Amino acid sequence: MKDSLDPRVQRLNIEDHPAGLTRKVPLDQFGTYEVFTQLKEDKPYQHEGIVHAPNADMAFIFAKEQYSRRMTCSGLFVVETRNVFVTDTTEDETNLYSLISDEFPKEGEAEEYEFFHLMKRGKQHQRVGSVEARNPQEALAMAKPAFIEEKPVYNVWVIKTSDILFSSDEDQIIWSTLPEKQFRDAIAYKAADKIKAFKESRA
């Protein structure tokens, strides 16, 4: 090692630690799962955020508590972050699909892939549909004529449908009681009426 004026470099003792392989230390935290909700049956699924969980089932429970506890949903699903394929993000009015290559790998078995578009900066990705393809690259190329729009699409997420844990019809009960819990909303306390009554009593 060459002499260095930096005492931190001198303290490394690089010659005493030859290069070698070591086992990667396992992560000491839960993985992340992306959460999508559907507010009404005729509305598209929209990305809401992430949760940390040891598995998809627990991620679904955490997502329900965090993102739909105070609002009624018609559907919710989670997918592990590492299973989300993300494109580059375009600038200005450039439509991402105008940059997608028509060349793609030919290997793999045909499967269904879900597509989510970012149509406006600062907003969330929304589901636009699905295509059947052998791999994510082929799915993206096939989606080009299917989902290209006049408005620019800035970013696309591609997710294999089989990697997603969807809510089922039986899960609807977890949201069925929310409309009755008006005490969770500030409007239920009618603070304005109480303030008005107080002012009138003081007049």
Spatial distance between the Cα atoms of 118 and 7, rounded to a whole number of angstroms: 49
pLDDT of 89-128, one tens digit each? 888 888 888 888 888 888 889 999 999 999 998 899 999 9
Q: Give CA separation, 36 vs 79, 103, 119, 192, in Å.
A: 9, 30, 16, 35
Whether pTM exceeds 0.75: no
Spatial distance between the Cα atoms of 115 and 143, rounded to a whole number of angstroms: 8
pLDDT of 19-51, one tens digit each? 556 666 666 788 899 999 998 888 999 999 999
